[in-house]
Amino acid sequence: MPRPYTKVSQDEEKLLQGRESSENGSPVTSDRSWQSPLSNRVSRYSNVLHWIAHGITILLLSVLLVDQRRSQESEPSELYTPAYGRTQRPLHYEVFKTAFWEKTPFKAYPDPPTKETMEAWDSITVTPALNLTADEVSRLGLSTDSVQWPNSAGGGYVGYLESAHQLHCLQAIWGRHHYDKDPENPLYAHMASKIKEMPDIEEAHLEHCVDVIRQRLMCTADASIVTFRWVKGLSTPYPNFHTGHTCADYKGLLGWAEGRKADMRKVEGWDYRSADEL
């Protein structure tokens, strides 16, 4: 007796045909509703992981950029000075002339100092007093209750080039060295007078000057390298002090100071006072 069967609907028949085609390796092009829930979940997870990876990449890049900016901000920058503002200082390449027997206008060996030698030192150390504005003093990080010029000289604040002060200290040490060898030399009359009248102050002045130069040299520690050569007549290697350096334009700085000098003709006999007393 034939077995009874129940006729399937058209939709069920299509679904069965789709499964049969899939099992036989035939591509299904009509209806993909039969695909498994696992396949759909894998696809969704892949999309989520893709966007998570993008998010992590963007986050890492942002952290790196912020860290780089903070690092740049924390690095010491060029200090403000009215001579240059905050712009890069003009520099040039120069080879130092520092051999023992090298002749320069500032050296007095083997002969003693002359009037010309003293004038050479004066040309780089005797610089004018400056007249600075209140804005310049503030931007220097200094107090506006610093000493001011009298109104007769146009007001403003009293200033002096630090580099000239450092060179003055070097000249003081150099001059004392030659004074000790020949204290009767009339070229040192001014120094002799100060040593006689204020011996303790002069000793303190020399110690001050040595330490000023020490700090300056350590602050701008020179990374140039000195090599050695064999020199005829010497049994040991001789240092080659002719080294190259990147140098500031000191003459240009002196020119700027000359243009900003105070009119000393208007302050002759003037007593330095605080701003509150003017």
For the stretch 160-173, pLDDT in tens is 999 999 999 999 99
Q: Please say if the pLDDT value at position 45 is more than 90.
A: no
Q: What is the mean pLDDT of residues 53-60?
A: 77
What is the three-state SS of the chain? CCCCCCCCCHHHHHHHHHHHHHHCCCCCCCCCCCCCHHHHHHHHHHHHHHHHHHHHHHHHHHHHHHHHHHHHHHCCCCCCECCCECCCCCEEEEECCCCCCCCCCCCCCCCCCCHHHHHHHHHHHCCCCEEECHHHHHHCCCCCCCCECCHHHCCCEEECCHHHHHHHHHHHHHHHHHHHHCCCCHHHHHHHHHHHHCHHHHHHHHHHHHHHHHHHHHHCCCCCCCEEECCCCCCCCEEECCCEEEEECHHHHHHHHHHCECCHHHCCCCCCCCHHHC
Q: What is the mean pLDDT of residues 69-81?
A: 62
- Interval 227-270: pLDDT, tens: 999 999 999 999 999 999 999 999 999 999 999 998 877 666 66
- Interval 185-222: pLDDT, tens: 999 999 999 999 999 999 999 999 999 999 999 999 99
Confidence of residue 87 (pLDDT cuts 50, 70, 90): low
Tell me, what's the pLDDT at 268?
Answer: 60
Tell me, what's the pLDDT at 62?
Answer: 72
Tell me, what's the pLDDT at 245?
Answer: 94
